[in-house]
């Protein structure tokens, strides 16, 4: 019996050794054990009122956070509402701001979620700033207006409030990675590839799973800190073992995100490699993460954005992070347009007062190759916008064919007076 056990032990040791020699693990700062206070924690300033958040250079206390979310709903009742995804172990709220404009019910659903590791608070602050920017820009900023009108945007700034406010509601100093039961929420999701989580499913994740189940998110991102790198699926495998079927698309999306950030800060996203993006498993394989769960079980393309080298970023650095991340965070939402199902297309029922005559124009073919034909000529000068809201073509009145040879593949919006329609280029 003893000999048998010894043989078994030797076998296990031999097997383990050969595996670790074949696949040396690279350091992944996100996976490091947390430190009680980051080196910057002394510079963490808290806002105890909404007014103190005006400069976006502080973290809100828990009560200020909840008050901000409610204030936006009071300020912009026709543009947003507040969802409660669930509650944490200690009863704190897991909130989600739902921002939607004119076409409610028919738009694709997008989801941002941050700080499931409670001490990685940069994303928490960025998401609050993003909510404010989108809502306050509606009607004055064309890109934000188009985005809110064509995408239902869900933003959950804080998915692990007990970890973030570990020392109490009034400070994020002393925040921890884990939830109140010291479970790592990003190792606690059902794993599509068969690994069982070490711990019982936590209430924060049970609530999040129900939220994903009750929605049809097409695109999402989960914000973390501790490094600066865009981490696309899979996390459970290296790309040589099992590449993600949308790998090329992910790389394009990551490049656009990182390139735009580097227009404002050339040194950002260089912690892991010069590209600033990586397949998660090529960095470090983890089981039971949220990213792979969401991609596999919910047909939603989710990636992990590691957005700051320091987990608990000094609050006075928040504005500079916002400066280089802002446009990328907004543009990432617009990436959903290219993967959303194409609706039937027609410009119709235009108000005669607006354009002088009834307008029933159909575009064909759609999706189109190099030329698009119009069933009737344009009654007025019209504009073709790309998915980011930038004007790409101005079309004179009476035009009946649009040459789109020079445009990259993707989704476009043709605007004719007050009316618009989508055009997809193959």
Q: At 410, which helix (H) or strand (E)? A: strand 410-416
Least CB distance to Zn ion at residue 391 (A): 39
CB of 408 to Zn ion, least distance (A): 34
Residue 126, Cα to own-chain centre: how many angstroms?
11
Please tell me whether residue 292 binds Zn ion under the rule CB under 5 A: no
In the complex with Zn ion, the residue whose CB is nearer, 117 or 244, is: 117
The nearer residue to Zn ion, 288 or 420, going by C-beta atoms, is: 288
CB-based burial of residue 371 (10 Å sphere; 0-12 exposed, 13-18 middle, 19+ buried)? exposed
What residues contact 78, with CB distance under 8 A and at least 6 apart? Answer: none
Closest CA to 172 of 328, 74, 47, 268: 47
Considering only 22-30, 79-87, 125-133, 187-195, which stretch makes contact with Zn ion by CB under 5 A?
Answer: 22-30
What CA–CA distance (Å, rounded) separates 394 from 397? 10
C-alpha–C-alpha distance, residues 251 and 46, integer Å: 37
Least separation in angstroms between residue 335's CB and Zn ion is 22
Question: Nearest distance from residue 30's CB to Zn ion, in Å?
Answer: 4
Please provide the distance, in angstroms rounded to a whole number, between the alpha carbons at the two ends of the chain. 67
Q: Which of residues 105-144 bind Zn ion (CB under 5 A)?
A: 117, 120
The answer to whether 139 touches 70, Cβ cutoff 8 Å, is no
Q: Which CB, 117 or 173, lies closer to Zn ion?
A: 117
Nearer to Zn ion, 231 or 420 (CB): 231
Shortest approach of Zn ion to residue 55 CB, angstroms? 26
Question: In degrees, to the nearest 5, what angle opens at C-alpha 308 toward C-alphas 302 and 309?
Answer: 125
Q: Which of 28, 30, 128, 151 binds Zn ion (CB under 5 A)?
A: 30
Interacting span for Zn ion (CB under 5 A) from 25-33, 130-138, 207-215, 263-271: 25-33
Minimum CB–partner distance for residue 120 and Zn ion (Å): 5
Which is nearer to Zn ion, 234 or 388 (by Cβ)?
234
Distance between CA atoms of residues 347 and 71, nearest Å: 37
Q: Residues 220 to 249: which contact Zn ion by CB under 5 A? A: 224
Binding site for Zn ion (CB under 5 A): 30, 117, 120, 224
């Amino acid at each position: 019996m003893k000999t048998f056990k010894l043989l078994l032990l030797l076998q296990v040791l031999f097997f383990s050794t050969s595996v670790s020699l074949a696949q040396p693990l690279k350091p992944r700062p996100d996976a490091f054990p947390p430190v009680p206070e980051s080196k910057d924690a002394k510079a963490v300033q808290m806002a105890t009122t909404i007014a103190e958040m005006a400069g976006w250079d502080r973290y809100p206390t828990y009560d200020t956070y909840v008050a901000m979310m409610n204030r936006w709903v009071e300020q912009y009742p026709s543009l947003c509402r507040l969802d409660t995804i669930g509650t944490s172990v200690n009863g704190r709220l897991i909130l989600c701001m739902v921002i939607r404009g004119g076409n409610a019910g028919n738009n694709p659903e997008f989801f941002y979620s941050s700080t499931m590791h409670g001490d990685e608070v940069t994303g928490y602050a960025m998401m609050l700033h993003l909510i404010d920017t989108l809502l306050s820009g509606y009607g004055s900023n064309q890109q934000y207006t188009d985005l809110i009108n064509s995408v239902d945007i869900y933003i959950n700034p804080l998915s692990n409030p007990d970890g973030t406010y570990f020392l109490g509601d009034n400070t994020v100093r002393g925040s921890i990675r884990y939830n109140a039961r010291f479970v790592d929420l990003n190792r606690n999701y059902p794993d599509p590839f068969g690994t069982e989580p070490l711990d019982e499913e936590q209430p924060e994740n049970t609530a999040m799973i129900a939220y994903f189940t009750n929605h049809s998110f097409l695109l999402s991102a989960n914000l973390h800190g501790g490094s600066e790198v865009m981490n696309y699926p899979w996390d459970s495998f290296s790309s040589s073992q099992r590449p993600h079927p949308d790998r090329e698309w992910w790389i394009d999306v990551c490049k656009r995100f990182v390139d735009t950030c580097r227009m404002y800060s050339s040194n950002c996203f260089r912690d892991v490699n010069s590209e600033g993006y990586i397949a998660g498993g090529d960095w470090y394989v983890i089981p039971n993460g949220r990213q792979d769960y969401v991609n596999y079980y919910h047909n939603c393309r989710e990636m992990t954005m590691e957005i700051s080298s320091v987990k608990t970023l000094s609050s006075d650095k928040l504005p500079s992070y916002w400066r280089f991340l802002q446009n990328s965070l907004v543009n990432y939402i617009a990436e959903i347009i290219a993967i959303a199902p194409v609706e039937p297309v027609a410009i119709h029922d235009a108000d005669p007062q607006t354009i002088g005559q009834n307008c029933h124009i159909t575009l064909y073919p759609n999706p189109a190759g190099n030329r698009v034909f119009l069933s009737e000529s344009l009654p007025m000068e019209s504009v073709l916008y790309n998915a980011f809201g930038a004007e790409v073509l101005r079309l004179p009145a009476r035009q009946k064919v649009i040459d789109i040879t020079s445009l990259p593949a993707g989704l476009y919006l043709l605007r004719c007076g007050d009316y618009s329609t989508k055009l997809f280029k193959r």
